[in-house]
Structure 1
Amino acid sequence: MQNDKLQTRFIPNYGNLKFLIALTLFVFTGYLASGQSRYQPQALFPAVPLLPPGNEYRSATGEPGRAYWQNQADYVIDVALDDQKNIISGTATITYTNNSPKALSTLWMQLEQNVFKKDSRGIKAKLFLYKDANEKTADGGYEIEAVKLKNDTAVASNITYHIYDTRMELQLPQPLKSGQKITFSIQYRYNFPTNYKNADFLVNRTDILPTKNGNIYAVAQWYPRMCVLDDVEGWNTLPYLGNGEFYLEYGNFNVNITLPASYIVEGSGDLLNPEEVLTPVQLKRWQAAKQSEVPVFIRSAKEVAEASSRPAKATCTWKFRMDNTRDFAWTASKSFIWEALSFPVAGGKSVMGSSLYPVESDKKDSWKRSSEYIKFTLQHFSDKWFAYPYHKVVNVASNLDGMEYPGMVFCSAKDTGNAYFMVVNHELGHTWFPMVVGGNERKYAWMDEGFNTFIDNLAVKDFNKGEFPGYEQIYSPLDTLFSERTVPIMTRPDAIPGDMVFPVEYQKVAYVLTLLRNQIVGPERFDRAFHKYINDWAYKHPSPWDFFRSIDSSVGEDLTWFWKAMFLENYRLDQSVAKVETAAGKTIITINNMERAAMPLSVEITYANGLKERHNFPVEVWEYSWQYTFNADKNDPVTKVVIDPDGIYPDINKGNNVYEVKGK
């Protein structure tokens, strides 16, 4: 019957036109008379595409276009740590390649440490400070001592620069043409943020953890970094305020770190000179760990306090290299227990996993299991999505609750049990988002945190027969994700209320992607599409539109209704049993869609004789109207009708999901 009506609507004669007008008025009048439903089909099922059209840079099928480009930033960084004053100082030499189609007269850089300046936008906006923004603190941030152009002459010329909060503009002496490179150096220094002893910073992504055997330095956002220039927004120069993380170009890193020889150092990249920075005993153990799937202690708990466990010289320079990466982080401490192992990942490559932690964290339900968690996580995600791209991975105990960098993560030194497994699994999962798939975290944190939480939730079920619940342990109630005050997922991170950051950026994204995977397109079809998206955009910069288009194209569906309701808006779902009536021996059931979101419809009918039947309808039943009517299969009396009997969909009002004939 519905197909006949659909055909009638498109017969071009005046009689049918009058009928269509009358029918439309009838439906619209009924909608107004109800005074209840907020649903408008045309908002979720528009004729005009929701997504912008594809172009030569980004295709309509969600893949990089034939003319896709991105620039490259290569770094050679020489720094020293003054552990008495807690100062980092050094020189970053940057080679920037302009692959864009236009000449550049200026370059832009991020100076994230400047958020610790007392007049920073982050502090004045009260987004960066957790407690009292009026509390007096020492002034922090970068001291830029010189910016010089490198050329073939012996004398390097100065580059004019201007600093605006956490951004620095470089005025080039002549335009950098398409296809050209420029090399320049920045001499700089800064104090570690822990010098702010009277302030409580919410975001401590670089910090110092005191332990009984010495400080643990977590060193990140520690050098001036190139802003991304892309075809979507040009220069991405949003200031660093706290919640919005990072958007970075890919390139090659050579990093040389000088500090007292009593320190053990680990970094994102491959250690190039182990024979210069390790004792002969440690060197043998380090080499053994590269061949062992069982953890090898390069320095044991007993040896931490022994001077002989470090080379007998004043300083060491640790040299690292990492290619095709968007960032680099490192750690240093006198207090480290250091264990390592190696294991294969998909594709046959061997990865070395290092764990560094103080004796205080040497517990059986905590850091003693670090190697186990590292191996599981990297092997699982490599098998499922994309092979782990680096030669090693480092897990460091710190006072950061969890923060990720390429090949290196900082996890809490105090966590135990599920909390510890969860943070290690999650932070290492960031290898795939955003280290491999390099989205814009400063604007779209959900493409980083939410995607990662989604794959975490799949992984946790496979670890040790479900030993840990993972993120479910800290999930907010489902009602929170779809409350009236919940902001849309597509909200800039720094504009999300503090108590909604986790529910929106992490939990809601994971929830709705799981819904899309399991109920709407099916696991096999979704996983194939998600795998393709990761592989298409590995080491590139996808936008949200690229993700939406990629999934649509791969699964062969127009998911406009889903992206609009779940990501672009905070639309809510409320399906209700409106009527159950009998006519000519048939039971006729009417379901209303009361709110602005739409989802597939699942209805269970129970007959008086106890038999049940299930009806499953696609989301297209809501494409025409806010009301849907169907018949029960049998002519027997119906005693109960339940919408979504398995509790799959995020219906905000379960009270109207049930019709039941009460016994007399």
Structure 2
Amino acid sequence: MRRLLSLSASVVALVLPVLAHPVFANPVAQTKGSYTDKFRQLEGEDWPTPTDYRNASGAPGYRYWQQKVDYDVKARLDEAKRLVTGSQTIRYRNNSPDALPYLWLLLDQNDYKRNSIAEMTATVGGDKISLDEVRRAKRMQEWEGGFTISAVRDASGRALPFTVVDSLLRIDLEQAVAGNGGETSVFIEWSFPMAEANVVGGRSGYECFTQPGEDGNCIFEGAQWFPRLAVYSDYEGWHNKAFLGSGEFTLEFGDYKVALTVPADHVVAASGVLQNPETVLSAAQRQRLEQARSAQSPVYVVTPEEAAAAERSKTAGEKTWVFAAENVRDFGWATSRKFAWDALGVKQDFAEQPLVMAMSFFPKEARPLWDAYSTKSIAHTLDVYGKFAFPYPYPVAQSVNGPVGGMEYPMITFNGPRPVKDKKTGNLTYTERAKYGLIGVVIHEIGHNWFPMIVNSDERQWTWMDEGLNTFLQFQAEKLWDKDFPARRGEPKDIAEYMLSQNQMPLMTQSDSILQFGANGYGKPATALTILRETVLGRELFDRAFREYAVRWRFKHPTPYDFFRTMEESSGVDLDWFWRGWFYSTDHVDIALDKVVRARLDGGDADAEAVERKRRRDAEPKSLTVMRNTAKTVTERDPATRDYYDRIDPLDATAAERRKAAEALKDLTAEERMALAVKDNFYRFSFSNRGGLVMPVILKMDFADGSSETARIPAEIWRTNAKAVTWQFVSAKTLVKAEVDPMWETADADRSNNVYAGLIEPVTLGIDKPEDAKNRMKDSDMKVLPGGLRTYDAPSDR
């Protein structure tokens, strides 16, 4: 305990950790017994060593590099056969220092092959099966998806050898592409049958409206639809892990030119900017598109009436829509004659992209929900994410309604919620759940343009870098849409149940191994970042650091360590304890307030101390036995039994106590006498960490005068003992109640132990004075004469 030299009447707080053993006395003791160092540094122990490519601050190093891959793709949709055929020329620029003798490409459509790893390792459980599972099983007996690679050639037209490994394609080059800027080109011809998404599932496919009373037309959504180059990075080399269905993909940035040939009456949405509107849009549609650029609310480019006419007529022939996209990592598209199309120009304070066209494509079955909320949700997302990260750098942002419930690609997203149709009247109405579901999914999928389409993390390894960061920003955007928005993820109180579950695993787990994908990949990291922003760092420090990470790594390939390091370097706060608890462990938050003591200083006045002893005694309840006894006691009936001890109070100060107190006061300095004069209460709160995850302790204290005060104790209170600590708070006020985490901001999983309203134990604190060092000179016979000469009164035996 520290020696108390002086205290003022103002409120003072001191940290008094309870030490299980003297960890500072012996460094080895930090690794023995029950001691756990929750604040041990991750740098140099668990994190990769910084390099010239990725430096210790979390920024790209001065030698950082990444590849560039450009695509020229021509594809055709055969609507009747549900077949896509295509060819592409790929130009690969190798900016790495390594010569590459082969290229790896992703063939994600191969997951639909019956012998794929994804299909062959799918597991089932329980003693029941859903009708959807039955439909899928029968369809996979009749139908098989996957790419057919019909040709692979180099720039001179010579065939190149290639090997398909599940969902991966290796092309062996005639000559290795040189490092530090070498280039090569390959040409590929391919085809694949589109999956019926509502039956087989997946991230792309088609949906046809063939039920009684429906128009029989289809919506097609193209994703992972062409062979795409895998990433070659400084920290992994080729990212050539097979696609198993959960972990998404990181890709290289480049420029795209894509020509899509579809039925003539189709409307196409795609990544990039339409290059030939004069050949695929009517004059009126082009005029409306231009009008939308400066409109205050969405404007129909293709009206519902035009879409309805196309549904009825089914015009013969084909049209080719040409799109160009610069500096993107992928390309998606959707097409249907059912699409109505609305658009709205969204202004940005960003010279590189001052106007973004927010656009939605949807069938009549999606009205009146989609025309009310989709495009406006895009505009809101551009605003919120632009402030948290960086302004949207692309010219268009699109939301498409179809069979895929929620999926993202550069500049285009697929989103599923629709109204419901009354079976009797045919009227379309929507539920509150559908309304907020649409707004939420549009925010989420458009938000993915920032993470990971631009800040290009690898979800196949680290789901939380993609889904978690984006879900955190989705939560912010939802609460800025409506303060009562029923957000599914982000509130700390909502993650507690998962953090108590038995099937959870650390956030740093590889994507395909995660059991509860939604809670682990989306909910827990989003909540962790909410707590980091609101409770640990505060908004100012967090927002600056988060924005710095986003800006540093836009159009680059970050790792978790780049994020962790940037957040610490920019905020100036050591967060290793936070990353360890939330990202590397399955501990949960449960901080209990076990005990509260109200202490006062022993002022050195024996009679005053006696008064305090009597006050505590009188506050105690009387003996129930004595209260119920009705007969007089012996001492009440017989005065002769009463003596000196019956005439005094046993708690009175004795003469010896008075003498001892007086002697003690004589030796006190003026400063120490001032300390004894302090009359404040010294409240001592005992906390235990029952969940294992160290966190700040937020303590709300209610006082007898009706006032309250909240202390926000940093997580470092647990640094010398991660299991139990005692914290001190000094105040003249009388405490009546105390509560941990009163605003439910730390994801505390058991609130039953957070409130202390019981007996506040009174104690008296004696002043801890250091012992005087032995003064052998003072106790000896030596005398010091003027001039420093020494003499002795020598004993007789000297």
Give the TM-score taking structure 1 as reference length.
0.88
Asked if the contact 1:279–1:310 (Cα under 8 Å) also holds between the matched residues in 2, the reply is: no
Shift of 1:157: 0.4
Asked if the contact 2:362–2:370 (Cα under 8 Å) also holds between the matched residues in 1, the reply is: no
- Map residues 107-122 of structure 1 onto 2, 5 A cutoff: 107-122=103-118
Structure 1 distance, partners of 2:463, 2:403, is 22
Q: 1:393-446: per-residue Cα shift (whole Å, max 9, x none)? A: 221110111111100011115263111111111111111101110000111121
Aligned to 2:264: 261
Shift of 1:646: 2.5
Instruction: Give 1:168's aligned amino acid.
Output: L
Asked if the contact 1:327–1:405 (Cα under 8 Å) also holds between the matched residues in 2, the reply is: yes
Aligned to 1:14: none
Distance change (3 Å), C-alpha of 1:648 and 1:118:
same
1:404 matched to 2:420? The reply is: no
Asked if the contact 1:345–1:383 (Cα under 8 Å) also holds between the matched residues in 2, the reply is: no
Aligned to 1:429: 447
Structure 2 distance, partners of 1:307, 1:480, is 49
Asked if the contact 1:114–1:140 (Cα under 8 Å) also holds between the matched residues in 2, the reply is: yes
2:532 counterpart (501, 516, 521):
516
1:488 counterpart (489, 493, 506):
506
1:228 matched to 2:245? The reply is: no
Asked if the contact 1:51–1:549 (Cα under 8 Å) also holds between the matched residues in 2, the reply is: no
SS in 2 for 1:572: coil
Query: Which range moves more in the overlay, 226-235 or 617-626?
Result: 617-626
Asked if the contact 2:495–2:523 (Cα under 8 Å) also holds between the matched residues in 1, the reply is: no
Point out the structure with max Rg over C-alpha: 2
Asked if the contact 1:481–1:503 (Cα under 8 Å) also holds between the matched residues in 2, the reply is: no
Shift of 1:649: 1.4
1:454 matched to 2:472? The reply is: yes
Aligned to 1:163: 164
SS in 2 for 1:603: strand
1:649 counterpart (746, 758, 763):
746
SS in 1 for 2:452: helix
Aligned to 1:471: 488
Shift of 1:43: 6.1
Asked if the contact 2:67–2:232 (Cα under 8 Å) also holds between the matched residues in 1, the reply is: yes
Aligned to 1:438: 456
Structure 2 distance, partners of 1:341, 1:604, is 48
**Percentage of identical aligned residues:** 32
Aligned to 2:317: 314
1:532 matched to 2:628? The reply is: no
Query: Which range moves more in the overlay, 557-566 or 310-319?
Result: 310-319
Distance change (3 Å), C-alpha of 1:618 and 1:3:
farther
2:291 counterpart (288, 292, 299):
288
Shift of 1:49: 4.6
Aligned to 2:362: 357
Instruction: Give 1:186's aligned amino acid.
Output: I
Shift of 1:637: 5.9
Q: Which has the higher contact order (CA 8 A, sep 6+)?
A: 2
Structure 1 distance, partners of 2:716, 2:305, is 66
Distance change (3 Å), C-alpha of 1:70 and 1:117:
same
Aligned to 1:573: 589
Instruction: Give 1:403's aligned amino acid.
Output: M
1:621 matched to 2:622? The reply is: no
Instruction: Give 1:110's aligned amino acid.
Output: L
Q: 1:484-519: per-residue Cα shift (whole Å, max 9, x none)? A: 43111112222112xx21111111111110100111
Instruction: Give 2:751's aligned amino acid.
Output: K
Distance change (3 Å), C-alpha of 1:559 and 1:413:
closer
Query: Which range moves more in the overlay, 271-280 or 591-600?
Result: 591-600
Instruction: Give 1:557's aligned amino acid.
Output: V
Aligned to 2:521: 505
Q: 1:97-138: per-residue Cα shift (whole Å, max 9, x none)? A: 111101001110000000000011001110699846865242
Structure 2 distance, partners of 1:273, 1:338, is 17
- Map residues 112-191 of structure 1 onto 2, 5 A cutoff: 112-126=108-122, 131=133, 135=138, 136-151=141-156, 156-178=157-179, 179-191=181-193
Aligned to 1:658: 755
Shift of 1:86: 0.4
Aligned to 1:248: 251
1:395 matched to 2:399? The reply is: yes
Query: Which range moves more in the overlay, 134-143 or 435-444?
Result: 134-143
2:729 counterpart (607, 610, 632):
632
Aligned to 2:11: none
Q: 1:535-582: per-residue Cα shift (whole Å, max 9, x none)? A: 100100000111001101000122110011101111222222333335
Q: 1:281-315: per-residue Cα shift (whole Å, max 9, x none)? A: 32332333344343222221122233599997721
SS in 1 for 2:554: coil
Structure 2 distance, partners of 1:662, 1:237, is 63
Aligned to 1:592: 688
Distance change (3 Å), C-alpha of 1:576 and 1:243:
same
Distance change (3 Å), C-alpha of 1:257 and 1:229:
same
Structure 2 distance, partners of 1:417, 1:260, is 32
Gaps of 5+ in 1: 5-16, 32-38
Distance change (3 Å), C-alpha of 1:170 and 1:301:
same
Query: Which range moves more in the overlay, 606-615 or 379-388?
Result: 606-615
Shift of 1:250: 0.3
Asked if the contact 2:250–2:459 (Cα under 8 Å) also holds between the matched residues in 1, the reply is: yes
Structure 1 distance, partners of 2:137, 2:525, is 35
Structure 1 distance, partners of 2:203, 2:43, is 47
Structure 2 distance, partners of 1:146, 1:180, is 24
Aligned to 1:419: 437
Shift of 1:376: 1.8
Structure 2 distance, partners of 1:313, 1:23, is 82
When the two structures are aligned, how many residues end up with a matched partner? 633
Q: 1:459-487: per-residue Cα shift (whole Å, max 9, x none)? A: 12222x53633335999552213434311
Instruction: Give 1:150's aligned amino acid.
Output: A
Distance change (3 Å), C-alpha of 1:263 and 1:202:
closer
Shift of 1:42: 4.8
Distance change (3 Å), C-alpha of 1:181 and 1:622:
same
Gaps of 5+ in 2: 5-21, 125-129, 420-433, 602-681, 761-798
Aligned to 1:34: none
Q: Please, what is the CA RMSD of the aligned residues?
A: 3.1
Query: Which range moves more in the overlay, 300-309 or 528-537?
Result: 300-309
Distance change (3 Å), C-alpha of 1:629 and 1:226:
same
Shift of 1:332: 0.8
Asked if the contact 1:127–1:241 (Cα under 8 Å) also holds between the matched residues in 2, the reply is: no
Shift of 1:319: 0.5
Distance change (3 Å), C-alpha of 1:639 and 1:119:
same
1:370 counterpart (361, 370, 374):
374
Distance change (3 Å), C-alpha of 1:149 and 1:583:
same
Structure 2 distance, partners of 1:23, 1:578, is 30
Distance change (3 Å), C-alpha of 1:281 and 1:608:
closer
Give the TM-score taking structure 2 as reference length.
0.74
2:303 counterpart (300, 305, 310):
300
